[in-house]
Each structure stands twice: as structure tokens, then as C-alpha cells.
Structure 1
Amino acid sequence: MQHNTTPGGALSRAVVTGAAGFIGSHLVDALLAAGTTVVGVDRRDPRTDPGAAARLAGALDHPGFTFVAADLRTCPLQALFLQAEAVFHFAALPGVRGSWGERFAEYTACNVFATERVLAACEDVRVPRLVYASSSSVYGTTNGGATGEEITPNPESPYAVSKLAGEQLCLAHAGKATSTVAAVALRLFTVYGPRQRDDMLIGRALTAALGGPALDLYGDGGQRRDFTYVGDVVRAATAAATAPVTMAVLNIGAGVSTSVLEVLAAVEELTGHAVPVNQLPAQAGDVEATLADHSRAADLLGWAPRTALLQGISRQLAHLTANSPQPVGA
């Protein structure tokens, strides 16, 4: 099976699902800056959702950008994907803790059923490439060392199960003898940076240090994560859109494991303020440590992380203070 993509070449037309989200909006901006015509799809409508409007502020008036408010579980997709050289499927219902119990039906609908609809539509209109945002949570508990893609996934939350199912759908479609779509699934390790979701650690820690609500700290703070800057993730995604591969699963992480307490210390150093915390019990599904072996991404995409954690947190702090409705900490 051959797919017509030009390694390293700019895309002429692309679709980004989850365009109004944290990572999706950064991806939209990067594609537009590269001269790509972009169709952004999200059920969060900037006309009615202030958060979506803020994240897409740099794109909405761009002549190369079209926003479509739509739910991937129900909307017709083929017309949106026509002539796209790549579909970046970054829409998902996120969060480990919220995926337990009654909401799991929503997770399966958003993260599994919608992914199958996206893949089927790509096949129908012969989109040559789909890039899927997966999650390092599919690995579950590891030995604390660097995790390579050859490790058998062992998801420990319903959310992680849903993301692994999405990966498998991508590989199933790409592996069909009659398929026209190549698929690259990116296992993203704890992405942070400007526009980060409100429930994520670094943003909550910065807000707490600057006079906001105290940080809910689950467990003792010894949990370690591979924190990956959003700009590095976007570079990996755009490289994956043209890499000469038919199907692949790739780790995208900084390759450095940092404890929650170390993150809080970095936030305190940058802000000059202590981070007040509410100590809470560890939560089911929160693994003890993550660390990416990203050598396969280096080999196949020519990708490597560029942004050190302190530098990335500093950029997130600058964005937070510049976009607060009043001076943070006032």
C-alpha cells in the first residue's frame, strides 16, 4: 500500500478536530503559519464559548482558517474532509478521574465511536494521512524507567482504555489491504504550556501561587511525570503528517521524569510565591511514574524535544499573567 505524502513538505489543506482545545488550537496556529489551509472542527463554538474564542483568537480572522461547530459523534464528515492531505484527530474527552462510572458511556462515544467515524470518513474521501492524539496513560504502571512502544499497554483507567481503543482503530484501518489512509498515533506524555486545560497540574499550581485557589494535591507529590511542552508536541504532529510510514505508534515525550513536588518548586521559583496545597488521597488510575523513550520518533520523524521544563513553565506563566482579566494575585 502506497500513500502519497511528501516527507517534510508543507500541507496545502488539513483538518484539525478538537481545534478549539489546548493542543488543537496550537496546532491550528502552526499549520496556518506554515501556509496550510485549515478546517477546524470542535463542538465548542467560539461564538458561545469564551474559552474556545480565547484559544482560537489568533486563527478566527485568518483567511486560511474555517471553523465548523460540530459534534463528531453525529455530524456528516465526508464534506469536511474533502481534499484534505491530513486529518489531525485531536478531539477527545480527556481526564482519568472523570472516566470512572456513569460517564464512561460518554468516553466511549467521544473517544472510540467518534474516532471510528473519523477514520471511516477519511477512507471514504481518500484522505492519505490521519494523525491521532493518543496518551501515555495507555501504558499503565511501569517500572519507572524509560518506556518504549514495544511495552505491552496495560491501561489502568477507563480513559486510558478508550485511548488505546482509538489507537487500535487507527491501525486496523491503516492495515486494511484496501485502505487509502496511513495512520500515525502519537502517545503524548503530560502536555503543558499556554492555554492548558484548567484541570492540569502546572496551570493549577501557577494559579495557586498567584493568589488563586489552593492546589488539590493528590497523593504525596512523589508521582513523576514526563512533562512535554505543547510546542514540541505540535512539531511532532506536523512531522507525522508527512513521514514516510503507513502506520506507526510513537511516544512523544521530553524524556525527563519530574516529580510533582519538583514542579511545585519550579513554580515557586518562577513566581516568587509558595504554592498552597490541599492534601488529598491518591486517585485510582493515576500511575506512579511516566517516562518516554522517544527514540522511535527521532528515527521516523526526525523529532526531538527542544523545550526544558523551566523554560516551558515560564512561557505558561507569561501567558497566564498576560491573559488574566485582572492582575493575577490581586
Structure 2
Amino acid sequence: MKILVTGAAGFIGSHLCERLLQDPTHEVVGLDALIAKSPTPVNVREYNLRHLLLHNRFTYLQQDLLEANWDDILPQVDVVYHLAGMPGVRSSWGEEFKTYVTNNIEATQRLLEGCSKYPIKKFVYASTSSVYGEKTNQVNEDAITAPLSPYGVSKLTGEQLCKVYAHNVGVPVVVLRFFTVYGPRQRPDMAFHRFIQHIRQNKPIPIHGDGLQTRDFTYVKDCVEAITATAYAENIIGETINIGGKERASVLDCIAMLEELFGHRIDRQFMGKATGEPRHTWADISKAQVLLGYEPKIDLRTGLRDEIEDLRQTPYL
């Protein structure tokens, strides 16, 4: 099976490529523009690729989705995993939204346009729990979408583009909505990465709001197992599927775990509530369990320990 992964140098994308290559029948093409405006520095994304570049069934293309020649890339591709995009809720406001329009909307449309000309078997779009907005209970895929941030709007627009191309030209779309993915290689702008680095530098942890907000935390390797399963799963074309984690916790719960793992008390710095972020997220993953055989395995304490160890061993930090 020949598989194209966009955003291959990113946090989830690099893990996905490594997982796909564990199957000796897979050939993986990883595409990433290494755009400078990403919250993950270019040298970090290059570091993420270090093992992949040595693999004889991996081909790396440093190309922008807006400029790529699909006639050179898409022939013989069976599955497209579209993970490329501009992440981040807090940075999506104001003038910066232009970057989100370009990388999350325009780039997705152009890739879908390319895929409409070739007989790919599946187009898997990486979306986010941010499309749901504020919900009080466990949320399933039928819930009304009401994003609270421009980032969430841009990802929901990408979902709608997928549906347009599925309906009109038959692109075989599957939408996955990720819930707060964490673990080794997590982006520097994400909470756990920032928390761990502040602790290592003996700085207080910045907490937005009261710290009682909760998230459904998804360990990256669990997430990648779900993504990989879409390549083999039957009867999933047209589906939207939540990918959540094994454990839900508050920010203060997570800091208590970090105190246990580091073996000392951690200072806290409470700040104003972040704009555009829901107070709670909680995924109903029953559809993923049925359609993908998905069962998250990694508990939060183990996942945090793995992320701490990864940051300790990363030479650029």
C-alpha cells in the first residue's frame, strides 16, 4: 500500500509515518513544507524526521501543499492522511488568522482537488475537538458543532470541504476528530510541553483560569493506532469519528501527577482565562471502538512520564 502523509515532520505526523512503516507492505511518502510560522521550530521538525529519512520505504518531499504538483505525487497512492495544517487556538486571532485560512482551508481544498483526479481508496482528514465548542457532557459525533476560536472555524471549514468533494466528485473521505493529543514530540506551544519545560527551568507553571478545566487527553501512540486502523477498516467512508484518550483530568490533576513524577512541589502562576477554549472536553469514542477496533491503552501518568523522558533526551532543548 502506498500512503501519503501530509504534515509528516509534525508531532502526530512523524509518529504516524513510523507506525505505518512497521508494516513491510507499506511505502510512505511524507510531505511537509516546514513553514516558518508554525509553533514548532523548523529544527524540531527536522529532528522528528531523523529516523524516517534513513528508511528505504520512506520518501520525503519538502513541498507546500499550495504549490505541489499532484500529477507527480498522487499516482499509485492508495491512502492520503491529511495532517498538515496550522495548529493552535490562542494564536489564531487577529491578523494571524490569514495563516490559518491559507494552511487549513486553501491547502485542504487544493489537496482535495488533486485527489479528485486519482482513484485513491481513502482520504483521512485530521480534525479536532475544537469544532464542538463548549459542551458539558460526553460528546458524540452527532453533536452540534460550534467552534469558539478562529482555529476551530478553520478546521470545521476543512471538514465541510471534505464533505463537498465527497458528495460531488466522490473523494472517499473519513474525518477524525482528535482530543488533546500529548506525548513525546508534543508541540512546544502545548500545555504539557510548556509545563514540563517550566518545571525543568524552576519556573512556576502558568495556569489559565482556575485550573479546574478538564480535557480528554489522548496519548500520541494511541491516537496513531486509531489513524493507522483507518487504512484497513471497512465501511468507514463518509464517517466522522472521535479519537479520545484513556483518561480525562483537570489541569490541577495533571500538575499533581507532574509533582509526583518530578518528586517535588511545583509553583503555580494563575492567569486570566484563555480566549476561545472550552472549559471541558470529553469524547464519546464508541464509534471508534466499533469501526476501528480502537481501545486507548496508555494512562495519563505513564504518558506524562514518557513525555518528560523524551524532553530530557532531546538535544535542542
3-state SS of paired residue (1:286): coil
* Other-structure match for 1:31: 20
Match of 2:65, SS?
coil
1:154 aligns with 2:146: yes
CA RMSD of aligned residues (A): 1.8
Say which is worse superposed, 270-279 or 127-136, in terms of deviation: 270-279
Aligned: 1:307 with 2:270:
no
Map of 1:243 onto structure 2: 233
Matched to 1:60, the amino acid is L
Aligned to 2:87: 94
Q: Does 1:56 align with 2:88?
A: no
The residue type paired with residue 210 of structure 2 is D
CA contact (8 A) 1:78 1:125 kept: no
**1:125-150 CA deviation, whole Å, 9 max, x = no partner?**
2212111110001000011x110111
| In structure 2, distance between residues paired with 1:166 and 1:212 | 40
TM-score (norm 1): 0.90
Do residues 211 (structure 1) and 201 (structure 2) align?
A: yes
CA contact (8 A) 1:130 1:241 kept: no
Question: What are the ranges of 5 or more consecutive residues in structure 1 without an aligned counterpart?
Answer: 1-11
Match of 2:34 in 1: 44
Provide TM-score, normalisation by structure 2: 0.94
The residue number in structure 1 matching 2:38 is: none
Give structure 1 regions of 4+ aligned residues with deviation exceeding 4 angstroms.
none
Aligned to 2:261: 270
Measured in 1, the distance between the counterparts of 2:126 and 2:71 equals: 20
The farther-off stretch of 48-57 and 113-122 is 48-57
Asked if structure 1 preserves the Cα contact closer than 8 Å seen for 2:177 and 2:241, the reply is yes
Say which of 113, 126, 130 aligns to 1:120.
113
8 Å contact kept, 2:246–2:300: no
How many Å separate the matches in 1 of 2:64 and 2:132? 29
Tell whether 2:158 aligns with 1:166.
Answer: yes
> Out of 154, 176, 185, which is 2:175 matched to?
185
Aligned-pair CA distance for 1:243 = 1.9
**Runs of 5+ consecutive residues of structure 2 not aligned to the other structure:** 36-40
SS at match of 2:53: coil
Could you tell me which residue of structure 2 aligns to residue 17 of structure 1?
6
> Aligned pair count?
311
1:54 to partner: Cα distance: 1.2
3-state SS of paired residue (1:275): coil
Offset of residue 212 of structure 1: 5.4
Is 1:77 the counterpart of 2:70 in the alignment? yes
Q: Work out whether residues 44 and 316 of structure 2, in 8 Å CA contact, stay in contact via their aligned partners in 1.
A: no
Moved more, 89-98 or 234-243: 234-243
Give the Å deviation of 1:325. Answer: 5.3
Matched AA of 1:200: M
In structure 2, C-alpha distance between the alignment counterparts of 1:276 and 1:84, rounded to whole Å: 50
Counterpart of 1:6 in structure 2 is none
Cα distance per residue 1:158-199 (max 9 Å; x no partner)? 1000111111111222223x42x3111110000000000001
Q: Give the Cα–Cα distance (whole angstroms) in 2 for the partners of residues 325 and 105 of structure 1.
A: 30
